[in-house]
Structure 1
Amino acid sequence: MTEAATLARPIDAADLIADMGARARVASGLLSRTPTAAKAEALRKAAAAIRDAAPAILAANAADVAQAQANGLSSAMIDRLTLNPDRIEGMAAGLEAVAGLDDPVGRIIDEAERPNGLILQRVRVPLGVIGIIYESRPNVTADAGALSLMSGNACILRGGSEAASSNRAIHAAMVAGVSAAGLPADTIQLVPTTDRAAVGAMLTAEGLIDIIVPRGGKSLVARVQAEARVPVLAHLDGIVHLYVDRAADPAKALPLVVNAKMRRTGVCGATETLLIDRSYQEPRPIIDALIKAGCEVRGDAAAKAISPLVMTADAADWDTEYLDSIVSVAIVDGIDGALAHIAAHSSHHTDAILTEDQATADRFLAEVDSAIVMHNASTQFADGGEFGLGAEIGISTGRLHARGPVALEGLTTYKWLVRGSGQVRP
């Protein structure tokens, strides 16, 4: 039987996830009491193990990429999947960065003394067991494992079939490092099958898994949100807007727009819709630069009038996360038009404004209801690492618990500690 067939063979998913969840619960109890220095040392050893295993990881990834190409995956998906020496070093460095972050576990959020002498504190504690379901990006295996461990949580990882070999190689290195540091191997577990039944079992694992974090395409996240019986931390779409205001500096605008769209088109922070103020004086150079960079530009009637190379955008374009070298362009009537368009089409992920008018920028920052709102910066900065968080387990577009890039603090909750001296309630 081939490796792929072995991974995909039918399983008793409920029993598998129940066993993994039980072992993860034991590991999480230990991790919640593990000192910061010990968790950091485990991550440093995991980073060293990943560097040592780089040849094996690259070989596994090459097999995944070849299969993905044979299966006709898009160029954006191939880019997400592909590893190289620099990206492996980036994974290892990311683990070391997380090891150096402030540990939120045990941090006192606030405290007060009541008139009756009771002393109350809110203290950060781990969530417990985190289930991460992801596609394509094998680096998530390292990032999610590191963030879970450092925040005192055990995790159960279920990667996509397209990256199965890469994920196993990275996971093996992570476990080797964690075990070498004296922490339990069950701290970071990888579901050993690509059978989709395992996903369903994770989504209904109440009492075993405390929260699910999906990272992947719209269909995956929609399934998770529809079927989950445990809390979900997710974003469905990254329909990211970049608004070029009439007061934007053309010298900043042109390179920034191209970077926001084209640096990496397959990341969730890539600009998908460009809004240009009708009064902006130099729209043509921006559109020409995008086309020259290899981007297909689809626009409304006003955008098409700027350049004959602009294709017609239809109604669906304004609500599409392309994750490819395609951008939709709308010409809007100032800040009011931009805000109205974003309110109608935003997925509440990331939206940005380019302007030298501080009052306009302040209004945009205040009124746009997204997890990340930017002024004069590329939307490609919508990333936990760029925010100084070391890495991210995902970007949450919801309003509860955590919002934006979710890292260590977002993987904790809190409990109340109440200290008395014999008080009774009258």
Structure 2
Amino acid sequence: MDPTRLFVKDVKRVIIKVGTAVVTRSDGRLALGRLGSLFEQVKELNSQGFELILVSSGAVGVGRQRLKYRRLLNSSFADLQKPQVELDGKACAAVGQNGLMALYDSLFSLLDVTSSQLLVTDRDFQDPEFRIQLTETVNSLLDLRVVPVFNENDAISSRRTPYQDSSGIFWDNDSLAALLALELKADLLVLLSDVEGLYSGPPGEPHSKLIHTYVKEKHQGQITFGEKSRVGRGGMTAKVKSAVCAASAGTPVIITSGFAPDNIIRVLRGERVGTLFHQNAHLWALPKEVSAREMAASARECSRRLQSMPAEDRKKILFDVADALEVNEDLIRKENEADVVAAQKAGYDTSLISRLTLKQGKIASLAKSIRALADMEDPIGLVSKRIEVADGLVLEKTSCPLGVLLIIFESRPDALVQIASLAIQSGNGVLLKGGKEAMRSNAILHKIITGAIPDNVGKRLIGLVTSREAIPDLLKLDDVIDLVIPRGSNMLVSQIKESTKIPVLGHADGICHVYVDKSVNMDMAKRIVLDAKTDYPAACNSMETLLVHKDLAKSGSLDGLLQELRSKGVVLYGGNRASAELGIPLARSLRHEYSSMACAVELVDSVRAAIDHIHCYGSAHTDCIVTEDNDVAEVFLNQVDSAAVFHNASTRFCDGARFGLGAEVGISTGRIHARGPVGVEGLLTTRWILRGSGQVVDGDKDVIYTHKYLPLE
């Protein structure tokens, strides 16, 4: 939870103001999709015990749309050629209010929520008895879990026009919402707009930045507001004025977008959404808005300090990180469970939720891996080659960190721990961007890990990127970021590769094959195939396609293997041949990563046919042959062009920890720099160090080149 939003833990009564720009589309018609999403959020929060009050604009806009249509139907062609008189705003309000509330009632009824309508004018609030009665009525409705819906009664308002007169107790629905927030003692006021919040300039301009927390002393006079709302009365100026008024009187206010499908829920989770107005904002030591370049530059500076430390000091940092994770296990699990619950409610698929969940024993396993990593040989400064270039001139090829890494990953909070520990061991700075579904888990893990990094290195060695909007800026920084590693879907990896000049390391798909040859021990084949598919089907190294020699299908030996898979709950799909001969439903594609308890099966004529199939449909991740014929096995091992190729072993072994790398930052299927599980070595590059005693080239007149390889010391 963002430190500036901690107060939401105690929020119960919330007023939500829905602007006309949210209620209607650009053509003036009702935005049914947005309203449906809004009401679904209200339904969920209502069921969680929040007391919700709506203040809704839109009646005038809805009425104008209807009356224009009615006037068109009743007009002759001659009438339409005459200048059209502007429709009376009060008539529009009277017609539109009826239609708007009928729609609201219908939508709420579909969600089994009861709503009520309360129309008010500013004159009503001049009567003390009215204000007392209003509070009692609203309290009664909220006790019954009814959602009160307020609107200014523009049809009978005594002001000159509902668009120009800003006198009185309130002058639009923004100021009405602020007034009600104070009158009804709300804990929070949310003003929904057509932009994400208050910006430092026009929202559409590149230099404009979202202001996460408004500080009157800092921002007043520095922000220029644009035009008023396209349909409402005031736009952002009116919202800010109302927000400042309510916040200074004690009710926090958040201005955020009503176009996002879950912003109200995110606000009440304490996420850094929109712009916050709070009476104590001027007292807070607000975090400075750090640019993408500043983050990367800080990570590089910290990495250089880390590289200069003795190996034992870097080792101690890793041990401190492991200890801190174990000490804070209960806190980590609590935050992770909140992420999992939210993901389940949001309808994420089971494979993502599986990757998101930190199961019992996972923290202990991560801590153990970090300690194993710390005990490995120091990877920095290792000499891999020594050459005597000439007499007294010795050249060494040594290992050194890459510099600054940008890791973009989805759903797996344990990846953050592995990546951070590898960065410390390899002396690299790292910027981490996890998926929003793991927001709480990533935040607490980042806080614990950076808390174990000493000040003489700097907490910014490991940066946590919390805004998705920051990614495009980071991908432009090819001068300060040295490598991007995306860990996630094919779409994510492809988008990253298309969006940056920075080298990208990773894999788009994990389409792993197991080929069962005709010369096989079927008991072994069953063990390997079942493990490769069912041990952790969401992993990228799980089997997605089972290739089987045709003779095993003819002899019936394959039947038992397929039955074993089905008994474990695996859904089978067939390639063209397997589907026809085995009666399996035809696979949609043989180049498909299921990441679930499903896989494809295909029959092949020989090991060479299996190799051709893998090269055609595979993703060069991990492929395996199960056979007792060593000659066939060698053909497969030497000719399959994948990052990892196995003989008689499950594809699930393709993992940094299982390979003894301590941990992995990801798996690379590329052919440059690193392939397979990428551990510490994959995060290092080399540099040449030359030691001499005053030699100069001078046209090579006096240099006798020996180029003699020397033993490593």
Alignment match of 2:365 (pick from 68, 84, 90): 90
Question: Residue in 2 aligned with 1:297?
Answer: 572
Q: Give the deviation of 1:305 after TM superposition.
A: 5.6
- Aligned positions of 1:184-263 closer than 5 A: 184-191=458-465, 193=466, 195-263=467-535
- Aligned positions of 1:5-404 closer than 5 A: 6-9=271-274, 16-179=291-454, 183-191=457-465, 193=466, 195-280=467-552, 281=555, 282-304=557-579, 307-308=582-583, 310-314=584-588, 316=589, 318-404=590-676
Q: Give the deviation of 1:117 after TM superposition.
A: 4.2
> What amino acid sits opposite 2:473 in the alignment?
A
Q: Give the deviation of 1:163 after TM superposition.
A: 0.2
In 2: Cα distance, 1:412 partner to 1:278 partner? 45
Q: Is the 8 A contact 2:356 2:411 kept in 1?
A: yes
Question: Residue in 1 aligned with 2:46?
Answer: none
In 2: Cα distance, 1:14 partner to 1:352 partner? 49
Q: What SS does structure 2 have at the residue aligned with 1:114?
A: strand
In 2: Cα distance, 1:49 partner to 1:321 partner? 36
Q: Give the deviation of 1:9 after TM superposition.
A: 4.5
Query: Pairwise CA RMSD of aligned residues?
Result: 1.8
In 1: Cα distance, 2:631 partner to 2:666 partner? 32
> What amino acid sits opposite 2:612 in the alignment?
A
In 2: Cα distance, 1:20 partner to 1:3 partner? 28
The answer to which structure, 1 or 2, has the higher relative contact order (CA under 8 A, 6+ apart) is 1
Q: Which moved more, 1:388-397 or 1:23-32?
A: 23-32
> What amino acid sits opposite 1:412 in the alignment?
L
Q: Give the deviation of 1:115 after TM superposition.
A: 3.9
In 2: Cα distance, 1:261 partner to 1:141 partner? 25
Q: What SS does structure 2 have at the residue aligned with 1:69?
A: helix
Q: Is the 8 A contact 1:28 1:152 kept in 2?
A: yes
- What is the number of residues matched between the two proteins? 418
| 1:307-336 deviations in Å (ceiling 9; x for gaps) | 54x22223x2x1111111110000000101
| 1:179-223 deviations in Å (ceiling 9; x for gaps) | 38x5321121211x2x32112122112222111111111111111
Structure 1 residues 373, 7: CA separation in 2 closer, same or farther (over 3 Å shift)? farther
Q: Give the deviation of 1:35 after TM superposition.
A: 1.7
Q: What SS does structure 2 have at the residue aligned with 1:56?
A: helix
Q: Give the deviation of 1:20 after TM superposition.
A: 1.0
In 2: Cα distance, 1:235 partner to 1:270 partner? 14
Q: Is the 8 A contact 1:348 1:370 kept in 2?
A: yes
> What amino acid sits opposite 1:351 in the alignment?
D
Segments of 5+ residues of structure 1 without an aligned counterpart are none
Q: Give the deviation of 1:108 after TM superposition.
A: 0.2
Q: What SS does structure 1 have at the residue aligned with 2:518?
A: coil
In 2: Cα distance, 1:290 partner to 1:239 partner? 18
Q: Give the deviation of 1:4 after TM superposition.
A: 5.3
> What amino acid sits opposite 1:66 in the alignment?
V
Q: Which moved more, 1:376-385 or 1:14-23?
A: 14-23
Percent of pairs with identical residues: 38
Q: Is the 8 A contact 1:283 1:306 kept in 2?
A: no
Q: Which moved more, 1:375-384 or 1:91-100?
A: 91-100
Q: Give the deviation of 1:423 after TM superposition.
A: 2.1
| 1:168-189 deviations in Å (ceiling 9; x for gaps) | 1111111122238x53211212
Q: Is the 8 A contact 2:300 2:428 kept in 1?
A: no
Q: Give the deviation of 1:248 after TM superposition.
A: 1.6
Question: Residue in 1 aligned with 2:143?
Answer: none
Q: Is the 8 A contact 1:132 1:213 kept in 2?
A: yes
Structure 1 residues 86, 401: CA separation in 2 closer, same or farther (over 3 Å shift)? same
> What amino acid sits opposite 2:464 in the alignment?
L
TM-score, normalised relative to structure 1? 0.94
Q: Is the 8 A contact 1:48 1:177 kept in 2?
A: no
> What amino acid sits opposite 1:386 in the alignment?
R
Structure 1 residues 228, 57: CA separation in 2 closer, same or farther (over 3 Å shift)? same
Q: Give the deviation of 1:3 after TM superposition.
A: 6.4
Q: Give the deviation of 1:116 after TM superposition.
A: 4.9
Q: Is the 8 A contact 1:103 1:408 kept in 2?
A: no
Q: Give the deviation of 1:299 after TM superposition.
A: 0.8
| 1:149-180 deviations in Å (ceiling 9; x for gaps) | 10011111111100010001111111122238
Q: What SS does structure 1 have at the residue aligned with 2:291?
A: helix
Segments of 5+ residues of structure 2 without an aligned counterpart are 1-253, 255-266, 276-287, 700-713
In 2: Cα distance, 1:90 partner to 1:203 partner? 33
TM-score, normalised relative to structure 2? 0.57
Q: Give the deviation of 1:8 after TM superposition.
A: 4.8
In 1: Cα distance, 2:653 partner to 2:406 partner? 26
Q: Which moved more, 1:95-104 or 1:337-346?
A: 95-104
> What amino acid sits opposite 2:679 in the alignment?
A
Q: Is the 8 A contact 1:213 1:234 kept in 2?
A: yes
> What amino acid sits opposite 1:421 in the alignment?
S
In 2: Cα distance, 1:14 partner to 1:210 partner? 23
Q: Is the 8 A contact 2:303 2:457 kept in 1?
A: no
In 1: Cα distance, 2:563 partner to 2:429 partner? 49
Question: Residue in 1 aligned with 2:38?
Answer: none
Q: Is the 8 A contact 1:287 1:307 kept in 2?
A: no
> What amino acid sits opposite 1:89 in the alignment?
A
Q: What SS does structure 1 have at the residue aligned with 2:551?
A: coil
Q: What SS does structure 2 have at the residue aligned with 1:205?
A: coil
> What amino acid sits opposite 2:313 in the alignment?
A
> What amino acid sits opposite 1:7 in the alignment?
R
In 1: Cα distance, 2:606 partner to 2:543 partner? 19
Q: Give the deviation of 1:245 after TM superposition.
A: 0.5
Q: Is the 8 A contact 1:272 1:320 kept in 2?
A: yes
> What amino acid sits opposite 1:190 in the alignment?
L
Q: Is the 8 A contact 1:241 1:342 kept in 2?
A: yes
Question: Residue in 1 aligned with 2:95?
Answer: none
